[in-house]
Structures are given as structure tokens and as C-alpha cells.
Amino acid sequence: MSRQRVNLDGRFVVVGYDGAFHTLYASLYDDAEDTNLPPVKAVGYHPVERLASERTEHGPYPCGFAELEQALCDWGLSGAERERVGAAIAQDPDMPTP
């Protein structure tokens, strides 16, 4: 399993790949200063990984590159922010290639 944190302006995205389940995953955190808060949005997490008390809005599972790109767009990330996430994926040797 791989995981990369991508810092954005005042928030961050954690993006990774779970090879055992063949899915990309990502979480959007709206406060880069408080890492104890749960993500506000997520994609690529199996339903049994979700807590009933979470405030997180979940996207599709499993998640491929098209679903990840759509989620990042839906989350309001700018083109430059999406490119930063893509660059983090490209630099991680454990990530699949599109």
C-alpha cells in the first residue's frame, strides 16, 4: 500500500493505492493545521472501512484513475491542484500507471 500527502492552500489530500484490492484512494482534509480531524471527502474506501460516526462524504469503490479525477474535480480542486496530486501519483513507484 502506498500513501502520499499533497499539501494544498490550507488543506491537503492523501492519495494512495491499495494493491491488495486494486483501488486508488484519496481523502480531502479541509484543515492542514489539524491532522486529527477526519477527512471531509473520500473516494476508494470499502464500505466496511467507514465509521458510522464519520462526517466524510464517500465516493465510489473501487476507484480507478477516471473516478479519482472526477472526485478531485467534484471536490473543487483547481486544475493546478489536480496536477499536483497527479505528480505525487507519478512519483510513487508503488502506484499503477494510468
Does a structural domain hold residue 96?
no
**pLDDT category, 55, cuts 50, 70, 90?**
low
Does a structural domain hold residue 35?
yes
**Separation between Cα atoms, residue 53 and residue 96, nearest integer Å:** 32
Does a structural domain hold residue 68?
yes
Does a structural domain hold residue 30?
yes
Query: Which residue range is the domain that position 87 belongs to?
Result: 2-91
Does a structural domain hold residue 98?
no
**For position 58, what pLDDT does the model report?**
80
For the entire predicted model, the pTM comes to: 0.87
48: Cβ contacts below 8 Å, ≥ 6 apart: none
Structural domain tally of the chain? 1
**Separation between Cα atoms, residue 58 and residue 71, nearest integer Å:** 10
Summarize pLDDT for 67-87 with one digit per residue, the tens.
Answer: 999 999 999 999 999 999 999
Does a structural domain hold residue 17?
yes
Strands of 2-7's sheet, edge to edge? Answer: 2-7, 12-18, 23-29, 41-43, 57-58
